[in-house]
Structure 1
């Protein structure tokens, strides 16, 4: 049985999703464990396991990748975002632009036995660092929403759920919220995790706090009985490399979705059958939302069409075999000419990488809020250890 050690920086939606597919891979002869990067020890890297770094760009991953490469040990790298092309002046963008983070990311990607992605667009970009790229299918675990009943309402709820980093994409729809509310008295906008800039909450504009727990998040989405789900994406390289997660989630919940007409949605949404694709103009978004509000029959048709499409193509058990086959192949093809891990050299590298890590985080915090914010974060860290 192939044994995969998932190495993560934090528990986020991506890691929850990966644990779902890895759990399903067990039926195909692939086992897995999960370890945080900052808790990883040399003794965890036994000769019978294949490490899989998940979205890791922390300087510590550079030490681990160097250790494994020097010992001729195979490892996998999973990535579902184009970290090189994140735009904006937010802390996330500043972090991934830091030279040490870039160096760590690129070394880990370029020396991986296989880089796993879910997007052809991202595969083309990553191939400049490593030609051993596998595009594996995305998926949805329908067991997460079994028994969840949509709440009854006479409102026409229009929804979006996402992380705060999606605020720029919501600029595409923020100008049309007021016109829609004025024209259609039964409409309500609901935003979970992020609120469009310049939009105030009220009885018909609702905000729900972000949750890092994917199980809670998807159950919430399934229960809200959204008539229309929004999936705006500004057209730039980072967004074109994303996965089609909104389509899978809306489809699984029978929500009629409206999607920006760019990859990844252009590749999967069948126009007027499983959803609507629109150009990124206020007029196009307003016209399509208005048309869907006026036609409940179309909403039901699109929601049902998306449900059966997602069920037939993305159901977890259907795609897990393809993931398992890749891991089994990597396990079988591993080099037998491996060397012992150089623990002494690694210890010194790890200490140095930790210092770099703290310096990067302090710099990002300083850019976000100056000396005061740095001081507050340091005090909070000290108090947490007391």
Structure 2
């Protein structure tokens, strides 16, 4: 064992894609499930997206990890992290939750251009291929990377976003008046635009209905006619603060529209998890992404404007149905989407990466003898 002792557990160093440290992706996937872990075989440390080789080498020496995880790493410096891990004889996992090898124009011009620069795409592919194991967030994403020709052994997570059981049900009450909302980043404007006809129709029919947009996404221009009944709420950068803030909004219904395309088909059911934890009924796009989450009455699925309008309208008018849906969703959270289950999943992936690395080292020794 390297920098850790048996009581503390092995150190997994998560190299983040954010210049300021872990983003929501890394907190969801590694930070939160291990924060309150008791007697875990692994402990977690984070490193931000560093700017030069010297900083990478200094960080690796400082942390002296037992396992290295490159999370969404599209930097050429990923190769230096892998080189150091190989020299130290430790396993390397590549972690990713989006198909960054094929970012579509629908996410916005700036993201499309940035992620599709040839040198960035090549660095991403090199980093993935240089690792012992590729850990992807969904089975759909595993299929996509196989279609891209990625040869690295790949494991798909059964769950992506999870919750602390003690937080389920510990909620702020809903708003006294009807409020529906959408939370997301600027790259989801096309998703939100899909449901604007239904939202606007509902707001015209119900003068007391308010609509809120939370995050870096801009307020759609269609909502201007409703004045103060439509509100934009600025983003909360720290994911630890994000969940309590979302809970405090008191939305009656959280909306989860998704365009039906190959990029979104690889997504996880994160919005359903976060809305349900916040005590909101969920209406989501009728896509495989949300099938499991919304099954058995834990959410409603909608595929066109009429269905969106009807689903949201029914829930607004029927508090018994709305509350039953929330109760069902939160029961599912406790059964399936817990930090404990996610932690077990990550531990199994770390252990598998270690076994692959051991076999690789053994085969290398054989070739040298």
Match of 2:27 among 12, 16, 22: 16
Deviation at 1:286, TM superposition (A): 1.2
Output the CA distance in 2 between the equivalents of 1:147 and 1:237: 35
Output the CA distance in 2 between the equivalents of 1:327 and 1:286: 45
Q: What secondary structure is seen at the aligned counterpart in 2 of 1:190?
A: strand
Output the CA distance in 1 between the equivalents of 2:136 and 2:339: 17
Output the CA distance in 2 between the equivalents of 1:311 and 1:63: 41
Q: Are residues 1:226 and 2:241 paired?
A: no
Deviation at 1:121, TM superposition (A): 0.3
Q: How many residues align?
A: 337
Match of 2:109 among 69, 76, 90: 90
Deviation at 1:131, TM superposition (A): 4.4
Deviation at 1:44, TM superposition (A): 3.9
Q: Are residues 1:31 and 2:43 paired?
A: yes
Q: Are residues 1:276 and 2:295 paired?
A: no
Corresponding residue number in structure 1 for 2:344? 321
Output the CA distance in 2 between the equivalents of 1:196 and 1:235: 22
Output the CA distance in 2 between the equivalents of 1:196 and 1:238: 23
Corresponding residue number in structure 1 for 2:308? 285
Q: What secondary structure is seen at the aligned counterpart in 1 of 2:131?
A: coil
Moved more, 166-175 or 313-322: 313-322
- State the TM-score, normalizing by the size of structure 1: 0.80
Q: What secondary structure is seen at the aligned counterpart in 2 of 1:173?
A: helix
Judge conservation of contact 1:254–1:303 (CA < 8 Å) in 2.
Answer: yes
Judge conservation of contact 1:25–1:324 (CA < 8 Å) in 2.
Answer: no
Corresponding residue number in structure 2 for 1:166? 188
Structure 1 pair 155–220 and aligned structure 2 pair: CA distance change class (3 A): same
Q: Are residues 1:81 and 2:98 paired?
A: yes
Judge conservation of contact 2:96–2:135 (CA < 8 Å) in 1.
Answer: yes
Q: Are residues 1:102 and 2:121 paired?
A: yes
Q: Are residues 1:298 and 2:321 paired?
A: yes
Q: Are residues 1:50 and 2:36 paired?
A: no
Match of 1:216 among 241, 250, 254: 241
Judge conservation of contact 1:16–1:214 (CA < 8 Å) in 2.
Answer: yes
Structure 1 pair 68–315 and aligned structure 2 pair: CA distance change class (3 A): closer
Deviation at 1:322, TM superposition (A): 2.5
Moved more, 302-311 or 6-15: 6-15
Deviation at 1:96, TM superposition (A): 1.1
Output the CA distance in 1 between the equivalents of 2:139 and 2:97: 11
Corresponding residue number in structure 1 for 2:5? none
Q: What secondary structure is seen at the aligned counterpart in 2 of 1:76?
A: strand
Judge conservation of contact 1:170–1:232 (CA < 8 Å) in 2.
Answer: yes
Output the CA distance in 2 between the equivalents of 1:87 and 1:285: 25
Output the CA distance in 2 between the equivalents of 1:266 and 1:175: 24
Alignment of 1:66-215 (within 5 A): 68=85, 74-88=91-105, 89-127=108-146, 128-136=149-157, 137-142=159-164, 145=167, 149-151=171-173, 153-193=175-215, 194-198=217-221, 199-200=223-224, 202-215=227-240
Output the CA distance in 2 between the equivalents of 1:63 and 1:27: 32
Match of 2:266 among 231, 238, 241: 241
Structure 1 pair 70–318 and aligned structure 2 pair: CA distance change class (3 A): closer
Output the CA distance in 2 between the equivalents of 1:250 and 1:185: 24
Structure number with higher relative contact order (C-alpha < 8 Å, ≥ 6 residues apart): 1
Deviations 1:84-136 (CA, angstroms, capped at 9, x unpaired): 23222521111111100100111111221111112110011123303411112
- State the TM-score, normalizing by the size of structure 2: 0.83
Q: Gaps spanning 5+ residues in structure 1: where?
A: 340-386
Structure 1 pair 168–217 and aligned structure 2 pair: CA distance change class (3 A): same
Deviation at 1:319, TM superposition (A): 3.0
Output the CA distance in 2 between the equivalents of 1:152 and 1:68: 49
Output the CA distance in 1 between the equivalents of 2:315 and 2:328: 15
Match of 2:275 among 229, 240, 250: 250
Moved more, 148-157 or 234-243: 148-157
